[in-house]
Copies of this chain bind each other. A is one copy, B any other.
Amino acid sequence: MKKTTLPCFGILILLLINYSLYGQTSGWSEVAPGVWRNVIGNPDKTDLFNSAGIKPAVEALSQIKAAEFPLPEKDIIAEVVNGKTYLRFPLVKDEQIFGFGLNFKTVHQRGKILNLHVDHYGGTDNGRTHAPVPFYVSDRGYGVFINSSRYLTVYAGSGVRKESPDAPDERDRNTDKKWTSRPYSDAVEILVPAAGVEIFVFAGPSPLDAVRRYNLYCGGGCLPPRWGLGFTQRVPTLFTSSQVVLEASLFEEKGFPLDFIGLEPGWQSRSYPCTFEWDRTRFPDPPSFVSKMKDMGIRLNLWTNPYVSSFSPIYNKILPYTGSHTVWGGVVPDLTIAETREILSEQLLNNQINIGISGYKIDECDGYDYWLWPDVAKFPSGNSAEQIRQTYALILQKMTTDLYRQKNIRTYGLIRASNGGGSSFPYVIYNDYYSHEDFITALINSGYSGVLWTPEVRSSKTSEEWLRRMQTVIFSPMAMINAWSSGTKPWSFPDVENEVREIALLRMRLMPYLYTEFARYHFEGIPPFRGMNLEPGFSFRSKTELKNKSLDENPYAEAVMKEIRDQYMTGEYLLVAPLFSGQTTREVILPEGKWFDFYTGEYAGDGEVIKVTPGLNKIPVYVRDGGIIPMMKPMLHAPSAGQKFDIEIRYYGTAPGSYKLYDDDGETFNYEKGIYSWRLIKVAPDKKGKITGSITKAEKGKPDNIGIVTWNFMSLE
């Protein structure tokens, strides 16, 4: 008896297989139309997709043109070496790739080395950013996603293998002028610091289709409430409820649109870390304050971060579910545990959501290493600090969205971070960086990564800058003035007050179009704001330029990529080409096909580079031939559920055009149950050659908020 039991008793015997998987991947399984999955080694239990809780929109995926597995399987290599996973995906000559998250300075990613790491943006596109989504799209019409909650090192066409069939010729730097410090690389190589990983390939056929499949596999893009597309102002941090009411009435008085106001840390009794409850000196009666604001047509959004103060009513309850390290003295909830989420959820629900708070601005879930928990922190779930960091913002978004879904009320808020799988969350990423140019690049990149981004207006040195910034924020997912520190108001620069009002009202007028484009994000996966490289007929390729820098001072100064990062698409038809402070003129690259001036309907060009001098009060916007832009009258608040509104349908150019206008109640999740309508707008010459337009009625029993329809054929003589 003793002999047989001894070696087994009290000792855990496991078979350790010291394996090194190598070589071509096989066994790709199509898990949804045009979406293939493969599992390498033993992936971590916590990954991005399960943290986001994605629910693939399979039916919508099947609507995209069918496509074969888009890459040669034999050239996708995966290997697990000493507990790490090495991945390789092929690239061909001249192939361009985009994505890898919310980059701020570059759109083209081929040749880059990135460490995908949730972080604040530190000024360099090195992979450390608010949304380091491990997804890339090729101009060859496919996408690749790495479903890992680790810090991934990506060589996006940088390393050169000895065995590569495309290995570049060796050159002698001494004498050969063609010598280059960065020889041709034929692969994307990725290091996953885990003994396995799940990977996905998304088919096209077009690059936009690959993006659509990614978004739809994540459940479809978010559909904000209608009011979310209105204007928002964030007020100084120590404002009291009466000051907030006064602020709202000033907007009304001045004729500036306003749909929601954001309260900053001062709404809480203590913050940084947070109590998650109202400060009763500044906000003596939150329910009646919220209701008074609602009566004025204004919703409220609350700033918070996830770190719990010892003065919070939930402190003792949540303490056992928190990590080893604190952030500003607050404990860090391990949100990968259901109980933790319940404790926090209950507080938000009872104290804020149930009295009518419309959403949150969730701060500091991105990082800045000096503020956050370190990578040596430990959490009760056993998930590593790295995994918690990579998934924290996803979990926060899912948790709060679910709270609103339970109440069947949509929310729309702000978040400092996101990651792969987050397409469906009604959150817009913001940060503390403030380069206007780079904000536009981020807006472009958001479209490749299933996230939303606001080029928020915070403050400006000049009225010119103020107006230029306002002109771009209205062509973005959230039209926000974030004045928590500066206290600036839309009319703070009197010499451009009228221009600012006009542009703000343009945002409101565009609401039917923007709301429809968000519906397409949800139902079709098409990002409402996106880069030119996803547009058909756009053929500009990146070029490299050697900056004339002294090798003595810095031999690392190398050729830099010249790329288009100052114009982008807003929805199906609008090409937006902002000007920045100091500019009076700029070039715009018009894709193939005719384009027309948004404001005048005049012909602008076709597949060419035009130079424009629009004046300070205009942001150049162009409409594709046949473009249909449904607009509404300038209102100060978004239409509420059931409120009828008249529309003006603008039509540009001469090509026959059609557009499906989306409608629903604008406030609930009933659209998830099919309660919405699509109304077909058509514009074409009739038999006599006269341009006429038509719009179908809403199906019986479906939402129907459209009042009077007027037509405006912009390009007629």
Contact = CB atoms under 8 A, between A and B. Distances in A.
B160 A113 contact: no
A95 interface: no
A310 interface: yes
A87 B167 CA distance: 43
Given A273-B170, A371-B182, A554 B432 contact: yes
Interface in A184-213: 189-191, 193
Contact of A370 (B158, B322, B370): B158
B167 A279 contact: no
Contacts of A171: 272, 328-329
Given A182-B371, A374-B189, A325 B266 contact: no
Nearest to A311: B170
Contacts of A486: 552
A492 interface: no
A265 B173 contact: yes
B330 A552 contact: no
A271 B370 CA distance: 43
Nearest to A279: B174
Contacts of A108: none
A689 interface: no
A369 B181 contact: no
Nearest to A182: B370
B271 A173 contact: yes
Copies of this chain in the oligomer? 2
Contacts of A193: 193
A55 interface: no
A174 B270 contact: yes
A16 B331 CA distance: 34
Given A189-B376, A378-B81, A162 B553 contact: no
A169 B458 CA distance: 32
B329 A170 contact: yes
A317 interface: no
Contact of A270 (B86, B172, B368, B376): B172
B161 A326 contact: yes
Interface of A: 11-18, 81-84, 86-88, 111, 113, 120, 153, 155, 158-163, 167-174, 179, 181-183, 189-191, 193, 237-238, 265-266, 268, 270-273, 279, 309-311, 322-331, 368-371, 373-378, 384, 432-434, 458-459, 485-486, 550-556, 558
26 contacts: A12-B17, A14-B14, A87-B376, A113-B369, A113-B370, A113-B374, A159-B376, A161-B324, A162-B323, A162-B325, A162-B331, A167-B329, A169-B329, A170-B270, A173-B271, A174-B266, A174-B271, A174-B272, A181-B328, A181-B371, A189-B376, A191-B374, A432-B554, A433-B554, A434-B554, A459-B553
Given A170-B310, A172-B271, A174-B266, 14 more contacts: A111-B370, A120-B556, A153-B376, A155-B374, A162-B323, A167-B329, A173-B271, A174-B265, A174-B270, A174-B279, A183-B329, A368-B556, A458-B552, A459-B550
